[in-house]
Amino acid sequence: MKKLLLGLIFAGLGAAFVAAGDAAVFDDIGFSADGKTYLFGQYGKTDVNYKPWAEIYTVDVAKNDFVPGGVYKNSSESSNSEMSGKKAYSDLKDKVEWKISKYAASPAGTDTLLYLYEENEKSATDTISFKDFENSTEDKSIFYEVTLVPSYEGKGKNVRSRFYINLVKKDAAGSVVGTWKVGTPDFKRKGITSYRIEKIFGDKSGKSLVFVVQKTLEDDTGTSIRYMVETVRF
């Protein structure tokens, strides 16, 4: 899947780090009512000329790719530098509301947020294990094991990197009931020096998962935090 560059200023980033690049805010618009489509947005201001920018993405969960015609962006070059990124995003969302409202998307709640990274909790490649309480029953429990598998060629802004997510589904006895390799392991991204899973969302049916992956981007402007998503539908 062509991945989505998103950013989020998160706890633990020092002021010097943020000043060296730019970071954006991630907005979980949510799953469609049938769980087959996932929507989200991002916004911020560029670090060089402080132009606000905003983007909205519509993802086909089963295909792990954008819905044709479902990517919406404003132009930072034509934006007023005095406008906030939040205002730019609000304007963009209002502009495309007539297109995305048909999905009746709802943001993830506490019942469908399956995992949330906590600072210094574990390394990026440690296996994440959790139970899907929303879709487990007294007779049938669902557990997941998630492992990020990255690879890198080169260093700094010249690095080319890729990754995939190894997903294992288990029952209460620990028996494997399914495995998936989520993502595009052969797709190389220039300048991405690290990856980490930040959040995992599920839809209410238990058939769809979204992995929000933090990316660290290095280029001539400095170091920036971005996000992308990977999706899978059972």
Q: What is the pLDDT of residue 208?
A: 94
Q: From 84, 64, 65, select the one nearest 74 (Cα to Cα).
A: 84
Portion of the chain with pLDDT greater than 90, in percent: 60
Residue 17 φ then ψ, to 5°: -65, -45
Query: On the CB side of 90, how many CA atoms lie within 13 Å of its CA?
Result: 5
Of 29 and 8, more confident: 29
CB atoms within 10 A of CB 233: 16
**CB distance 195 to 148 below 8 Å:** yes
Give the tens place of pLDDT for each residue, 81-92: 778 889 999 999
Statement: residue 120 has pLDDT above 80? no
Q: What is the pLDDT of residue 138?
A: 79
Give the tens place of pLDDT for each residue, 14-63: 433 344 457 878 999 999 999 999 999 988 887 777 788 899 999 999 99
Q: How far apart are alpha carbons 62 and 64 in whole angstroms? A: 6
Q: How far apart are alpha carbons 96 and 58 in whole angstroms? A: 12
Q: What is the pTM of this model?
A: 0.85
Statement: residue 221 has pLDDT above 80? no
Portion of the chain with pLDDT greater than 70, in percent: 88
Question: 106: which DSSP letter?
Answer: B
- For residues 86-101, give the mean pLDDT: 94
Q: From 228, 232, 223, select the one nearest 22 (Cα to Cα).
A: 223
Point out which residues pair with 215 in neighbouring strands. Answer: 195, 226
Give the tens place of pLDDT for each residue, 143-172: 999 999 999 999 999 999 999 999 999 998
Statement: residue 72 has pLDDT above 80? yes
Helix (H, G, I), strand (E, B) or coil at 90: helix
Q: What is the dihedral of CA 66, 68, 70, 74, to 10 degrees?
A: 100
Q: What is the pLDDT of residue 232?
A: 96
Give the tens place of pLDDT for each residue, 188-199: 999 999 999 999
Q: How far apart are alpha carbons 218 and 206 in whole angstroms? A: 36
